Structure 1
């Protein structure tokens, strides 16, 4: 009997044992999308990992067949006449079938592959302008075609790539993916030397809220010079001394791209992440925020409304707005914990607030805040009460400072500031403005490296030295508000009627 191909053999094994694909994905340690492609014949496992994959699957299939007493069904399905006495023999036989089927599929693919097509290098581009234009167009086109999730591995150093202009290539991407993860190296020493690199870091994260960046120590990444988009392409590039690309080659053969990705993803996952995205920080007993507020000194750069020093009435309104469910009860508890935490801290902690003028105007107009994991819009009356609550807190605790930074021209590049920064000087995190996330990208970045935390904190402290920064006392805030109160109230009343 001719040897069956790999897809049919695997499909028959799955049918015989009634194995769910998500279960088989857990057995082999691959995403379910891979298992689906293997069983449908769209793809084959890479030759580098086929032995481990077949061993794991054969062991699982053998145990299932023995458990459900389907040895005879197995022999009938695969036309095996010799008796099988135990699970060990069955395991060996299944491995033999899978390996033979894999080899048959490999030979079949080679026979049907067009000989005139060079599947190794799709393109080689030489020259600064040509290479730059090619890489920019490639990233924009390929990222736009990812419909589910994507993983972009960028071997190189973030600051060097920023000087090269790489991150600007993402400006024109029409992103359709539910989530794109970008893994890249970061030289902490380089980031510490120049303020501009800290600014590059912030503005890149602020501009591309629909992406989840993961930063790693660049020492193990900066000399490989590869850019890999999972399932799409591999680019190898060369840099001049002036950090410009002089040549790049692109591989688009799907099997080869998968093999290279499987090999080089290990360079990232085998080392700790310096900045990692998170879906939620939580406010439960084990959550990040609970430990975060167990200190006396805070610095906040607020862009998503002003969610601090809220009056009790607003907390009640937020809780009442939460739908009833098990998950919602967790949110209620988070809000309650946050309220109690700030009531306890209010009179004794040092708090430095920095708020861009654009963010203040946006908050005055909309009342939007992003408190813990909840989006809420304060009513006009609630915003007025919030203003009073802030003033009372500042008068009661003179260690609360309110700094305003006039937005630069740069701030208008992407709807203003949309990335907040929260620090207790021992730990810190960024929070995206959820209104401007258009897919399933995570809302938070946690900085896990202490030295990097200090550098980022120093970057935000640097804002206080700029001429556009000014600290307002409670009296100055009162005078400013009284000066524009009538205008603000009339404009907001008109807005609410629309």
Structure 2
């Protein structure tokens, strides 16, 4: 190993930025300093059996021994704010580079250029493992374009591409300098009305903390292409649900730049399936009101929001958070009251089909969190009860409102991901993405084909004839009433606990 490698380059960079000497690292790891010099030069790698201990030691030493300026630079580079998160991020980066290098050394691929490898055929797991290049840890600046026939892949591989394979969302910090364009083929013959619509919603949620754009075009058919501008690219032909042929991977900067430019040109505005927007824009540009006044309203609630609030509770929340809401939405209290009055009239007088997840009620009962125009507020137990009581009243008294209650998950693969919030109409439709990030929380449907796909998804769930969807109005009302009893029990338990604390405090006095 005569030349510097990715691991040695990273190690040298960390030590230089942190201003940590080889001797300091050697002392921390209890190694002779000659080993550190060989790691940095690329002449040697740490032994595989000591990988975890060595990487933990390096990350801890770099953070603990760094100068103040060096530590601040690394915090910005890894987009974290505290030293413990920085240690974890550096450890993850070191492990990724080390494992990638080891796999490359062991694989015996055919090298067709100084930075380029070729495989006649790979299974999808092998392809996706190579796609997970260590450069993706560099969250300080990434430009990615991918053209993938996602719906033609086996489901387990779709989840891996979407980073949902473990049922977990990726780290939900906002990354302002990470850009990702993904093109897929959503042709009818490849599309599962429920599974793939749920997948798309979860992909949008998962990547809403970065600048993510999703495109739909038949140009993605049969392709498996992933390019990081100027750094890495892997291309192949999808020949079955689980195999790729003619796979080429390159780290040549010029090739990566050229591939990025060429595939980016395929991602045209007319094929963009959703456009990013915000609640501030929805209100200021009157899209929020237009969707309320449109025909064929269909709403899916993964959590409760301002659309289902009685007048008095709306006014309480607005008054309590007036300054924050003005800053967040750019709307005056009078403007928000007008929006509420319109929404209330629509809810109480218009035909609407409403799907509500059972978890929306239980979450409100336990946490009290309400999505108030995309601004999260916490309700008191009394306010929670009044909010849910209003929904119960609507369910019992408003015949024009049709309700369905969703229990559990429609698709098991997404059981750990936030329930979707979808608002469809004959004029415009949008998703409200629940991901704990203030940026890109709303995805406006921007494509007629995707509009049809989401409408079909809603209809399919609405008409499901199984135990997951409750259709009888009395059964739904009974469930809501049960939730209200739960809030009462929670309130009483907290009250009893407070009395015990007060009695204990008085006894001490």
Distance 2:113 2:286 in 1: 49
- The alpha-carbon deviation at position 413 of structure 1 amounts to 4.5
> Is residue 149 of structure 2 the alignment partner of residue 153 of structure 1?
no
Deviation at 1:153, TM superposition (A): 1.5
Contact kept in structure 2, 1:157 and 1:218, CA below 8 Å: no
Partner in structure 2 of residue 27 of structure 1: none
SS at match of 1:457: helix
Partner of 2:347: 346
Aligned to 1:121: 115
- Rg larger in structure: 1
Tell me which of 144, 163, 170 is aligned to 2:137: 144
**In structure 1, C-alpha distance between the alignment counterparts of 2:391 and 2:257, rounded to whole Å:** 55
How many Å separate the matches in 2 of 1:309 and 1:409?
A: 23
Does 2:258 align with 1:266?
no
- Cα distance in 2 for residues equivalent to 1:412 and 1:192: 17
Which residue number corresponds to residue 394 of structure 2? 393
Rounded to whole Å, the distance in 2 between the matches of 1:334 and 1:424 is 23
TM-score by length of 2: 0.64
Give the alignment's TM-score, normalised by structure 1.
0.66
Match of 2:348, SS? coil
CA distance in 2, matches of 1:372, 1:297: 22
Within 5 Å, which residues of 2 pair with 1:71-220?
A: 121-129=115-123, 132-139=125-132, 141-148=134-141, 150-161=142-153, 163=155, 165-169=157-161, 170-171=163-164, 177-178=175-176, 179-190=178-189, 195-210=194-209, 213-220=212-219
- Structural mapping, 1:3-18, within 5 Å: none
Q: What are the ranges of 5 or more consecutive residues in structure 2 without an aligned counterpart?
A: 1-110, 499-509
Return closer, same or farther for 1:283/1:257 CA change in 2, 3 Å cut-off.
Answer: closer
RMSD over aligned CA atoms reads 3.4
Structure 1, gaps ≥5 residues long: 1-116
Aligned mates of 1:244, 1:464 — CA distance in 2:
36
The reply to whether residue 294 of structure 1 matches residue 293 of structure 2 is: yes
Q: Matched residues in 2 for 1:480 and 1:223: separation?
A: 47
Match of 2:409 in 1: 408
Distance 1:486 1:386 in 2: 14
**Equivalent residue for 1:52?**
none
Paired positions, count:
376
**1:373-427 Cα shifts (integer Å, max 9, x gaps):** 3222222111111223223334442011221111138558453433211111332
| SS, match of residue 489 in structure 2 | helix
Q: For the Cα contact (< 8 Å) 1:156–1:185, is it kept in 2?
A: yes
Distance across 1 between alignment mates of 2:132 and 2:444: 27
Deviations 1:462-487 (A, max 9, x none): 112320211242x5455445556544
- Please list the CA deviations of residues 85-108 of structure 1 after superposition, one character each: whole Å capped at 9, or x if unmatched: xxxxxxxxxxxxxxxxxxxxxxxx
Distance 1:308 1:389 in 2: 11
More displaced stretch, 173-182 vs 250-259: 173-182
Supply the distance in 2 between the matched residues of 1:455 and 1:346 (Cα, whole angstroms): 25
Sort the Cα spacing of 1:174 and 1:365 in 2 relative to 1 into closer, same or farther, 3 A: closer
- Between the aligned partners of 1:411 and 1:335, the Cα distance in structure 2 is 38
Q: Could you say what secondary structure the match of 1:187 adopts? A: coil
